Amino acid sequence: MTLDSIHSPADLKKLSRDELPSLADELRQFVLDSVSQTGGHLSSNLGTVELSIALHYVFDTPADRIVWDVGHQSYPHKILTGRREQMKTLRQFDGLAGFPRRSESEYDAFGTGHSSTSISAAMGMARAFQTLGEHQVAVAVIGDSAMTGGMAFEAMNNAGVYDDLPLVVILNDNDMSISPAVGALNRHLARLLSGNIYSATKKGIDSVLSIAPPLREFAKRLEDHAKGMVSPSTIFQEFGFNYFGPIDGHDLDALVPMLQNVRRLAIEGRGPQFLHVVTRKGQGYELAEADPVLYHGPSKFNPDEGVKKPTAPANKTFTQVFGEWLCDMANTDPLLIGITPAMREGSGLVEFEKQFPNRYYDVGIAEQHAVTFAAGMACEGMKPVVAIYSTFLQRAYDQLIHDVAIQDLPILFALDRAGLVGADGATHAGSYDIAFLRCIPNMLIMTPSDEAECRDLLTTAYHQNHPSAVRYPRGAGVGATPSKELRTVPFGKAELRRKSSAASGQRIAILAFGTLLYPALEVGEQLNATVANMRFVKPLDVELLKTLAQDHDYFVTIEDGVIQGGAGSACLEALAAMGLNRPLLQLGLPDSFIEHGDYKLLMTNCGLNAEGILKSIHERFSAVLPVNWAAIGK
Question: Terminus-to-terminus CA distance in the chain, angstroms?
Answer: 56
Strand 530-533 versus strand 536-538 pairing type: unpaired
Q: For helices 252-267 and 49-58, give the axis angle rounded to 10 degrees.
A: 40
Query: What count of other Cβ atoms lies within 10 Å of the Cβ of residue 487?
Result: 14
Phi and psi torsions of 530, nearest 5°: -75, 140
Whether residue 223 contacts residue 171, with contact meaning beta carbons closer than 8 Å, is answered with no
Q: Is 562 exposed, middle or buried (0-12, 13-18, 19+ CB in 10 A)?
A: buried
State the DSSP H helix or E strand holding residue 522, giving kind and residue range, or none if neither: helix 517-527
Largest distance between two CA atoms of the chain: 95
- Tell me how far apart the alpha carbons of residues 533 and 336 are, in angstroms, rounded to a whole number: 29
Strand 444-446 versus strand 468-471 pairing type: parallel
Phi and psi torsions of 378, nearest 5°: -65, -35
Q: What's 456-500 look like in SS3?
A: HHHHHHHCCCCCEEEECCCCECCCCCCCCCCCCCCCCCCEEEECC
Secondary structure (3-state) at 102: coil
Q: Which residues pair with 180 in a beta bridge?
A: 176
Nearest 5 degrees, angle CA 455-CA 457-CA 458?
65
- Tell me how far apart the alpha carbons of residues 432 and 70 are, in angstroms, rounded to a whole number: 20
- Tell me how far apart the alpha carbons of residues 553 and 582 are, in angstroms, rounded to a whole number: 6
Beta strands in 116-268 (DSSP E): 138-143, 167-173, 242-248
Which residues are the active-site residues? 281, 367, 395
Nearest 5 degrees, angle CA 254-CA 179-CA 318?
145
Instruction: Specify the length of the chain in residues.
Output: 634
Q: Is the dihedral of CA 319, 325, 328, 332 positive or negative?
A: negative
Query: What count of other Cβ atoms lies within 10 Å of the Cβ of residue 153?
Result: 16
Q: Is 72 exposed, middle or buried (0-12, 13-18, 19+ CB in 10 A)?
A: buried
- Tell me how far apart the alpha carbons of residues 97 and 362 are, in angstroms, rounded to a whole number: 29
Whether residue 594 contacts residue 602, with contact meaning beta carbons closer than 8 Å, is answered with yes
Phi and psi torsions of 433, nearest 5°: -65, -40
Please state the separation of Cα 477 from the chain's center in Å: 21
